[in-house]
Structure 1
Amino acid sequence: MRDAMTERAAPDILLGHAPKARPLLAGEPLGRIGNLTVRLARDLEEIEAAQEVRYRVFHEELGARALAADLQDRRDADRFDDICDHLLVVDNAIDGPEHRRIMGTYRLLRQESAFAAGGFYSSDEFEIDKLVARHPRLHFLELGRSCVLPQYRSKRTIELLWQGIWAYVNHYDIGVMTGCASFPGTVPAAHAEALSFLAQNCRAEGAWRVSAVARRFHPMDLMPGEAINMRSAFAAMPPLIKGYLRLGARIGDGCVIDHDFGTTDVFIVLPVETISSRYINYYGADADRFAG
C-alpha cells in the first residue's frame, strides 16, 4: 500500500535457496470454506479484477491518492503486479464471469522474483535487503496489498486467505514472511499507545532486526511504558497487525508515513519456524490438502 520503489540492482544474496521446481498452477484451489475458494489468479483479466477490488478499497473507501491512469481505469496498479502472484478470494455462489466473483486479494512477491525486478516493494520504506542478507539460507516472501470488499470482511474470509498463504508457503518452502502493515492516517502520534507498545514489546531483535530507511524514519516509541495499557493498545491496532502478532510476528524499528495512501506503516517480520503449532494445525489441516 505504498509507492513503488525505484529500480536498482539487488545483491546476489537476495536469491537465497531455490524453491520447489513446480510452480503452483494458477487457478488450482488452495483452500475452501463454504461457497468461497482461495486460489491464484489465472490470467491478466483476473489480475485486473483484483486491481479493481484494490481500487475500490484503497482509493474509493480509504481515500488513497491515485495516478491519472489509475483513475481512468479505476484500478490500483504498479509495476510489481507483473512479477507477483495474486491470491484471490472467489465467491462461487455469484452468477456471471469468473473474474467478477473476486471479493478479496493478497499480493505475494517471492524472493527470486524480487531479485529479478531489482528488489522488494517495501525496500523504499524499510531496509529489507539487509535483513535478507543476514539469512541466506532462508527464502523470503513479501505480502502486500491485502484487501477484502466490505460485505466479505468476516473471520472466515480472513481464515481462507491464510489457508491460501499457508499452502503457498509450504509449496515454495518459504522461511520468512515480511511486508508492510498500516495504521490509518499520517500522524504517528494519533496511534501513540499502539505504536509505543509495538516498539517496547514486539520489536524484532538481533539477526531479525530491520529498520525504516533513514530518510523516512519516524520514531514509534512515543509513550513511557508505565503509561501504556496493553489491552487498549492492542484493541487500537488494525486487524491485520493483530493477526500477524498472534502468529508470532515481530515489528521493525521505526515507522514510515505514506502520504499517497494516507497511512503510517510498520514492518512485519514473521519467521515461519516461530509460528505456533496451534495455528499451523488450524490452517494446515485444510490448506495442506491443496498444496502440491
Structure 2
Amino acid sequence: MRVLTIPGDSGPSFSKLSLSLASTKKEVKEVQKLRYKVFIEAMGLTALANSEGLDKDEFDDYCDHLIVRDTKTLKVVGTYRILGPNAARQLGKYYSESEFDLSRLENIRGGLAEAGRACIHPDYRSGAVIMMLWAGLAAYMRRERCSHLIGCASISLADGGHNAAAIYRAFGEDEMSPLEYRVKPHLPFPIENMDEGHEARIPPLLKGYLRAGAWICGEPAWDPDFHSADLFVMLPIGNLDNRYAKHYGTEDIAK
C-alpha cells in the first residue's frame, strides 16, 4: 500500500485520514465490502445480495482503486475506482458503454479515464473524504496524461423518478456538453412520463462534478439493477480545479 497521509495542518477532519491506491487483493476486497454495505445493503437491493458480502464485477480486476483510510482504526472509509485508457483497451470497453453509446467519443478515447463506484462510509460524510478522493482523481489523471474524466452519476428512483426528471429538465446550456460529445442511452429513462413541477434535488456526487466543471452529455439512462437514472458526465482535465492536488499534497500519488 502506498499511503499519502494528509498533513496535520490540513485541519482535524484530515489529520486522521490517508489516501492510497490499492496494491493487494486484500485491499480490493476491503473496497468491495464497503461498496456492498453502501450500495446493496443500505439501498435494499436484495437482487444483488450475495453470501460473500462483496460488490464486485469484471471491471474490478482492471481498475485502480483509490482508498481513503482512517489511520486510527485502519478502516477503509471511502473509495473510487478508475479505469484508465490502457486498461480499457485491454478489457475492450468502459463500464459506461453498458449504458451509453460512446461512438461519438472515439477520437478522444485514448485520453479517457473513467471514474465510478464512488462510495463513502455513512459515518464519514462530512466532506473531507470526498475532497481527498477528488485530489486522488486529479493526480491520477495528470500521471496518466488523461484529457477527460468520464463516468455515470446516479440519481435514485426511490421517489418514482420525479427528481431525476426535474434535475435533467433544470440543466441549461452551461451544464450540457458541446454537441460533438453527446451520447445516447441504450435504455433511456422515460422523462416524458414524469410529472413536471417537482423540485430538483441534486445528489452530492453530481453536484461535485458540476462544480468542478463537468458536462452532462445527454439524456439519462435507466439502470434497473441499481434502481437509478444515470447521467453520463465528462470532465475535461482543463476544467478540473487543481487546488485539490496542490493543497493536499497528492502530486506524487502512485509514482
Would you say same fold, with TM above 0.5?
A: yes
Is the Cα–Cα contact under 8 Å of residues 106 and 146 in structure 1 kept in the other structure? yes
Q: Which runs of 5+ in 1 are unaligned?
A: 1-26
Say if 2:181 is the partner of 1:208: yes
Q: CA distance change for structure 1 residues 173 and 65 in 2, over 3 Å: closer, same or farther?
A: farther
Matched, 1:122 2:96: yes
SS of the residue corresponding to residue 46 of structure 1 reads helix
Q: Is the 8 A contact 2:85 2:113 kept in 1?
A: yes
Query: Contact 2:135/2:245 (CA < 8 Å) preserved in 1?
Result: yes
SS in 1 for 2:184: coil
**Partner SS state of residue 118, structure 2:** strand
> Which residue pairs with 1:179 in the alignment?
151
Distance 2:120 2:244 in 1: 21
Gap change, CA 1:269 and 1:228, over 3 Å in 2: farther
Counterpart residue number, 1:217: 188
Aligned partners of 2:157 and 2:164 also within 8 Å? no
Report how far residue 212 of structure 1 moved: 1.5
CA distance in 1 between counterparts of 2:85 and 2:228 reads: 25
Determine the C-alpha separation between the residues in 1 that align with 2:107 and 2:180: 7
The one-letter code sitting in structure 2 at the alignment partner of 1:173 is R
- TM-score (norm. length: structure 2): 0.87
Deviation string, structure 1 residues 230-259 (Cα, Å, up to 9, x no partner): xx53xx010000000001111121111111
The alpha-carbon deviation at position 158 of structure 1 amounts to 1.1
Contact 1:66 1:76 (8 Å CA) reproduced: no
- The structure with higher relative contact order (CA 8 Å, sep 6+) is 1
Identity %: 32
When normalised by structure 1's length, the TM-score is 0.77
Single out whichever of 160-169 and 187-196 deviates more from structure 2. 187-196
* 1:243 aligned residue: 208
Equivalent residues of 2:101, 2:183 under 8 A apart: yes
Higher fraction of helix: 1
Instruction: Give the superposition deviation at 1:118.
Output: 1.8
Distance 1:212 1:283, change over 3 A: same
Counterparts of 1:104 and 1:210, CA distance in 2:
29
In structure 1, the partner of 2:134 is 162
Aligned partner letter, 1:195: Y
RMSD: 2.4
Cα 1:131–1:287 shift into 2, 3 Å? farther
Structure 2 counterpart of 1:38, one-letter code: L
- Cα 1:289–1:191 shift into 2, 3 Å: closer
Structure 1 segment 140-151 matched on structure 2, within 5 A: 140-151=112-123
1:281 and 2:254 matched: no
Counterparts in 2 of 1:255 and 1:31: CA distance versus 1, 3 Å: farther
